[in-house]
Amino acid sequence: MALINMVQSLNKTLEELMGKDERVIVLGEDVGRDGGVFRVTDNLLNKYGDERVIDTPLNELAIVGMAAGMAMYGLKPIAEVQFQDYIFPAFDQIVNNIAKMRYRTGGRFNVPLILRTPYGGGVRGGLYHSQSGESYFVHTAGLTVVTPSNPFDARGLLVSAYKKNDPVIFLEPKRLYRSIKAEVPDDMFEVDIGKAAKLKEGDDLSIITYGSMVPTVMTTVEKNNVNAEVIDLRTLLPMDVDAIVQAAKKTGRVIVVHEAPRTLGVGAEISALIAERAIDSLLAPILRVTGYDIPFPYTHEELYLPGEKRIMSAVNRVLAY
C-alpha cells in the first residue's frame, strides 16, 4: 500500500506491465526522455530502452495508426496522445480502423491497444488543452472507453484495459493527476470494465458522474449535507446500465454531472436509459449539470466547469419538484 497520486499510480502500473510483458510498447510524443508532459511515463525509457519506449515524431494520426498496426501483429501498444484535444487527426484511424478491425475481419484480426490521453479543463489550458471529448468515442461501437477519478481506479482500470483483447480509450482527467492521493495496493488488481462504483449511499437523490467531476460532486454533497447517493461510472462504454437504473429506481431523482458539453453528452444517454427503463420511478425530471455548449474559454475557465453552485441549484430543483 502506498499513498500516491494518479500520475504515480499510472506510472507505477505502466512500469510493472512493461516488466511483466515484453509485448507492451509505450509510444507517443515526449513519452521517453521527458517522461511525458505530465510525467506519466517517467523513467520508463531508462528502464526499458528506446525500442519499447518510443519518442515519436509529432503526428497523432501516425502514432495511433502505428500503434494499431503493432496491435494487429502481436504487440500490446500503449500509445499516448499528449492532450485529448490533439486526437482528432487520428480520429479516422480510431473510428474506421481500430474500432472496426475485429468486426470487419470476422474476428480474425483484433487491435488490443490502449490509447491514453489526458482530458478536461482546470489547468488554464484554453481551447486546446481542456476539452472533454468522450462522447466522440462513446458513440463508436468497437471501442471501450474508461475514465478513472482517483489513483486507485487508475491502476485497476489500466490493468483491466491491458487484459482486454480490444482497443481501450483511456481518458485521464488531467485536473486530478496530482490533486488527490489515495492508498493504492502494491499488488496488481483489476477494476472491472463496465462496472460503476457507488461512492456514497443516500436516499433523497442519485448523482451520476465520472472522471474529473467526481471530487467536485463529492465535496459538494458532503459540504451541503445532501442525502445523495453518488455513482462514479468509471466506464463510459459500455456504461453500467444496472447501476444507473437501480439508482433511478431507488431515489426517483437523478442528476448527471459531467464536464463535457451537454448536447449529446454522456448525460443524454443516461437520461434516455432511465427514461426507457425506469420512467415510472421518476419523481422529478432528470437534470444535467454539464459544461456549456461553447468552446472551452480561457479567462473564465471556472465559469465553464460545473461547480458547487450549479450542482446545488440542480439538487434543490430536483428535491423541490
* Closest CB 174 distance from other proteins, rounded Å: 26
Evaluate whether 234 touches 149 at the Cβ level (below 8 Å).
yes
List 20, 33, 47, 104, residue binding other proteins (CB under 8 A): 104
* Region of 28-36, 69-77, 196-204, 313-321 interacting with other proteins (CB under 8 A): 69-77
Nearer to other proteins, 62 or 282 (CB): 62
* Region of 7-15, 120-128, 139-147, 170-178 interacting with other proteins (CB under 8 A): 139-147
CA atoms of 148 and 133, how far apart (whole Å): 15
Q: Which residues have CB under 8 Å from 317's CB, separation 6+?
A: 284, 287
Evaluate whether 53 touches 32 at the Cβ level (below 8 Å).
yes
Interaction between residue 61 and other proteins (CB under 8 A): yes
* Closest CB 239 distance from other proteins, rounded Å: 9
Q: Which residues have CB under 8 Å from 281's CB, separation 6+?
A: 248, 249, 252
CA distances, 286 to each of 205, 206, 269, 318 (Å)? 10, 10, 12, 8
* Closest CB 42 distance from other proteins, rounded Å: 23
CA atoms of 215 and 161, how far apart (whole Å): 23
Nearer to other proteins, 240 or 259 (CB): 240
List 166, 172, 229, 232, residue binding other proteins (CB under 8 A): 166
3-state class (DSSP) for residue 181 = coil
3-state class (DSSP) for residue 267 = helix
Nearer to other proteins, 43 or 59 (CB): 59
List 102, 129, 155, 174, residue binding other proteins (CB under 8 A): 102
Cell of 273: 436509459
Q: Residue 98: phi, psi to the nearest 5? A: -65, -50
* Region of 120-128, 129-137, 141-149, 304-312 interacting with other proteins (CB under 8 A): 141-149
> Residues 129, 139, 258, 300: which is the catalytic one?
129
Neighbours of 316 (CB within 10 A): 12
Nearer to other proteins, 90 or 228 (CB): 90
Q: Which residues have CB under 8 Å from 4's CB, separation 6+?
A: 12, 151, 181, 182, 184
* Region of 10-18, 89-97, 152-160, 221-229 interacting with other proteins (CB under 8 A): 89-97
Nearer to other proteins, 43 or 165 (CB): 165
Q: Is the backbone of residue 155 left (phi > 0), alpha (psi -120 to 50) or beta?
A: alpha
For residue 129, indicate whether it is catalytic.
yes
Nearer to other proteins, 76 or 175 (CB): 76
Q: Which of residues 199-258 bind other proteins (CB under 8 A)?
A: 237-238, 241
Radius of gyration of the chain (CA): 19
CA atoms of 75 and 138, how far apart (whole Å): 25
Interaction between residue 96 and other proteins (CB under 8 A): yes
Q: What residue type is 62 in one-letter code?
A: A
Q: What residue type is 12 in one-letter code?
A: K
Nearer to other proteins, 146 or 217 (CB): 146
Interaction between residue 93 and other proteins (CB under 8 A): yes
Interaction between residue 155 and other proteins (CB under 8 A): no
Interaction between residue 72 and other proteins (CB under 8 A): yes
3-state class (DSSP) for residue 95 = helix
Could you list the residues that contact other proteins (CB under 8 A)? 25, 51, 54, 56-57, 59, 61-62, 64-75, 77, 89, 92-93, 96-97, 100-110, 141-142, 144, 164-166, 194, 237-238, 241
Give the residue numbers marked as catalytic: 129
